[in-house]
Structure 1
Amino acid sequence: MAMSMRRALLPLYRMRFSNLKNAESSLEVRYPLPFVVPVRTKKRYFIPPAVGIKGKAAASADQEAKARAAGVVLRQEYMERAINIACTAGVFDPYIPPEGDARLSSLSKEGLRQRTEQIKQGAASQLAIRKIKEHDAEFTTKAFPVKAQEIFVDAHNALTQFNKEKLHSLVTERCYPEMVRGNRYKTLRWHFVESLEPPKVVHARCPDMVSKGNIYGQVTVRMHSRQTLAVYDRFGRLMMGSEEEPRDVLEYLVLERHLVNPYSMWRLHGKIVPAWAPVKEPIVKTVMIPGPELKPGEEFEGLNYEVPKPKAVQWHK
């Protein structure tokens, strides 16, 4: 019975398979072929150092020819360097502070000579101030030094509190890494006590960058004040300065603004340190002093071991 049923259904199955094959051939169904995408590998070609520049050029040309033959398109490599047009990369024509500033009297012979040199150098500053006033109508040489001192105080308060958002709004992108460098795992205590002399504008320039007409205003403000600074390491030990002993500080601050941008603000851009400035006091760093090796059962107090005191070393950031 089963064989008879199989013999009856086999012709039907063959007929159905042939119909499907004919329909497939009539529709011309084509199966997609595998698509091969060439992938750039990280294979490096070693060039011996004795080959020279010509050998390197020939090796790179051979590498490009092999890549083109294989159907791989090599992307051209450009030596690009990111720039920031919100501020300049440095101080343009920096102000040279006269030697003995804040110590010599204006009535002395040396003081009169310095005064005459400042008057001669002030001609270029007057032209820059006029150009600044064309873009910033509120700029005046009398009110700006007070504003610059407020920016200086707010920026240092934000630095001691590690307020990055506020610090970015008060200093430029060039000044920010210089202020925060080396302050990790440290505690800063800074306080502005008083101003010994009223701040004043001593220098002004208007440089261009990238294209003509892209003007930046740089104003140097002389500030003579009394401040306190104390730096503690991560263990809470005093590294330099004192919170109770104020010191007289003479600084030349450079503030900058992108004058073409109507939404820009005056920000702290840098500080001019004269060559005749006194050397900073050495920073005392916490180091581990190796002691004697103790045997089992011995105590350090019973050995009467004198710990040597480390010598002060001048550290530069």
Structure 2
Amino acid sequence: CNILQREQALLDPAVQCHLPSLILLRTKKRYYVPKTDDAKKHTVDYEARARAAGIVVQQEYMERAINIACTAGIFDPYIPPEGDARLSKLSKEGLKQRTEQLKQSAASQIRKIREHDPKFSTKEFPDRALEIFIEAQTALAQFNKERLHKLVTERCYPFLESLEPPRVVHARCPDMVSKGNLYGQVTLRMHYKQTVAIYDRFGRLMLGDENEPRDALEYVVFERHLKNPYGTWRLHGKIIPSWAPPKDPIIKTLMIPGPQLKPWEEFNSHEHEKSTAKAV
């Protein structure tokens, strides 16, 4: 009888709650609720723990790094006269060019450069700049990175002969970051012969020729950090005149992937040309 009653009680929910064995089991059901003190702290404060342990945590700055060894560009760039190196100095237009060059040379800016660099001279500097220019080109051709970084700034070609002696045509002395942090920028007019040859990654000539020298007229900017006692004059950039004729763009080259060969197979160029022609 007792067994039948228990079986009926298991099937009947109304009777089920009155059984003492089932009541004991229900009282043992517990839902564990964790403490809310640690749950509120979503992230662990490592800095607070480090301070409590006596460790000094250095503050991390997310600002962008700025290089103050050189400027980011050319301040007040020199405007080359149209038809330069073609007009005679004795002609009317040549005299106009000369007067404009005297206006743009800015003697006050040169005076400011001499305050920080007493050895600077507009007569001697072109020869020194020409030496830097030639040395930078040879270092670039020889892939000498260490020497090139000492002659060229972070923002910036073999030399044959100089057609005209280089001369100073423009000088500026801007400041950057703070007042008094001066940078000297001197623009030189350089007329010389140069050979330039540009190859693509497959070794094909894309522009110029190694054996054909050409006349090049360039306005090269040299820069020096005047507030740095160990600063030197370095090649900073070039000024391209607005009236200069546009150059032809370099033709882009692409690599057509060849067939995947096994180690014991040989590549047959004729079969590859036929297969590519059929695919097109």
TM over 0.5: same fold? yes
Which whole-Å CA distance do the structure 2 matches of 1:246 and 1:284 have between them?
22
Where does residue 196 of structure 2 map in the other structure? 229
Q: Secondary structure at the match of 1:87?
A: coil
- Give the corresponding residue for 1:238: 205
Q: Which residue of 1 aligns with 2:42?
A: 70
Asked if residue 87 in structure 1 is aligned to residue 70 in structure 2, the reply is yes
Please tell me whether residue 206 in structure 1 is matched to residue 173 in structure 2: yes
Which runs of 5 or more structure 2 residues have no equivalent in the other structure?
Answer: 1-37, 48-58, 258-267
Superimposed CA distance per residue, residues 184-234 of structure 1 (whole angstroms, 9 cap, x where no aligned partner) = xxxxxx621111110000011111111111111110011000111112223
Q: Which of residues 211, 215, 218 is equivalent to 1:251?
A: 218
Mapped partners of 2:211, 2:269: distance in 1: 39
TM score, norm. by length of structure 2: 0.69
Q: Which 4+ residue blocks in structure 1 deviate beyond 4 angstroms?
A: 71-79, 298-301
Q: Does 1:269 align with 2:236?
A: yes
What is the letter of the counterpart of residue 155 of structure 2?
Answer: R
Deviation at 1:114, TM superposition (A): 2.0
Cα distance, 1:282 vs. partner?
3.8
Identity of aligned residues (%): 70
2:83 aligns with one of 92, 100, 103: 100
Q: Which runs of 5+ in 1 are unaligned?
A: 1-37, 39-65, 176-189, 291-297, 308-317
Q: Which residue of the partner structure matches residue 313 of structure 1?
A: none
Larger radius of gyration between Structure 1 and Structure 2: 2
Alignment partners' CA distance in 2, 1:262 and 1:288: 51
Using the size of structure 1 for normalisation, the TM-score is 0.61
Distance (whole Å) between structure 2 residues aligned to residue 138 and residue 245 of structure 1 = 39
Which residue does 1:196 correspond to in 2?
163
Identify the residue that residue 163 of structure 1 maps to in structure 2.
144
Paired amino acid for 1:149: L
CA distance in structure 2 between the aligned counterparts of 1:82 and 1:299, rounded to whole angstroms: 52
Q: Is the 8 A contact 2:189 2:219 kept in 1?
A: yes
Distance (Å, rounded) in 2 between the aligned partners of 1:98 and 1:268: 22
CA distance in 2 between partners of 1:120 and 1:247 (Å)? 31
- Kindly state the Cα deviation for residue 236 of structure 1 after the two structures are TM-superposed: 2.1
Tell me which amino acid in the other structure corresponds to 2:217. Answer: L
Counterpart CA distance in 1 for 2:216 and 2:170 is 19
The 3-state SS of whatever aligns with 1:224 is strand
Question: 1:9-48: per-residue Cα shift (whole Å, max 9, x none)?
Answer: xxxxxxxxxxxxxxxxxxxxxxxxxxxxx9xxxxxxxxxx
Distance 2:247 2:142 in 1: 24
Q: SS at 1:220's partner residue?
A: strand
Q: Please give the alpha-carbon distance, in whole angstroms, between the structure 1 residues aligned to 2:155 and 2:220.
A: 14
Aligned residues: 217
CA deviation after TM superposition for structure 1 residue 287, in Å: 3.8
Aligned partner of 1:127 in structure 2 is: 108
Contact 1:224 1:248 in 2 (8 A): yes
Question: What is the CA-CA distance between 1:117 and the residue it aligns to?
Answer: 1.9
Q: Which residue of 1 aligns with 2:250?
A: 283
- CA pair 256-71 structure 1, distance change in 2 beyond 3 A: same
Give the Cα–Cα distance (whole angstroms) in 2 for the partners of residues 236 and 299 of structure 1: 19
